[in-house]
Amino acid sequence: MGEIDKEHVGAYACVFNEDFSEILLLWRKREKRDGIEVRGWGNVGGTVEPGEAPVQACIREVKEETGIVLKPDDLMSVGLKRAPDASTNKWSIYFYATSIDSRTDVRLNHESRGYGWFGKDELPEGTLDTKGDILGWWTLAETAFKIPKL
């Protein structure tokens, strides 16, 4: 009998500006998705470490990758993605949302080449998640933070 693979668990933050008109995306040097290295625009985040809650992992990853310090109350849950039932790779990714002052100093670590602030109509090509997923989390974040519709 073979060894049972552990499920990969990740936690990511959708970081928005003050009025939720723009999202912060990082240009990732490399990231593994289903065992394949990919590059592209993505949210801040990474792997949940053993004994760590997803929200704690999200806070840690945001600090490591951008230098931005968050507290649990700064984050709202906006989604969970899981591997399809038939998939041989088992994974779960928790998504949270927060807003920061867009003038906040972003200090990238070695995992990213750059960052940008993007409006809903300006999402770049080459996003690691689908634009539909990003826009869906955006809508959930606006609802969670009670942002009025324009």
Mean pLDDT computed over 109-122: 95
User: Is 110 part of any domain?
Assistant: yes
User: Is 102 part of any domain?
Assistant: yes
User: Is 24 part of any domain?
Assistant: yes
User: Is 87 part of any domain?
Assistant: yes
Query: Phi, psi at residue 95, to the nearest 5°?
Result: -120, 135
Looking at residue 2, its pLDDT comes to 41
User: Is 119 part of any domain?
Assistant: yes
User: Is 149 part of any domain?
Assistant: no
SS (H, E, C) 84-140: CCCCCCCEEEEEEEEECCCCCCCCCCCCEEEEEEECHHHCCCCECCCHHHHHHHHHH
Tokens of 135: 């826009």
The CATH number given to whatever domain includes residue 93 is 3.90.79.10
User: Is 57 part of any domain?
Assistant: yes
Mean pLDDT computed over 72-84: 94
Looking at residue 31, its pLDDT comes to 57
User: Is 82 part of any domain?
Assistant: yes
Q: What is the number of domains present in the chain?
A: 1
Domain of 88 in residue numbering reads as 8-144
Could you give the 3-state DSSP secondary structure of residue 72? helix
Is 70 exceeded by the pLDDT of residue 34?
Answer: no
Give residue 103's pLDDT band: very low, low, confident or very high (50, 70, 90): very high
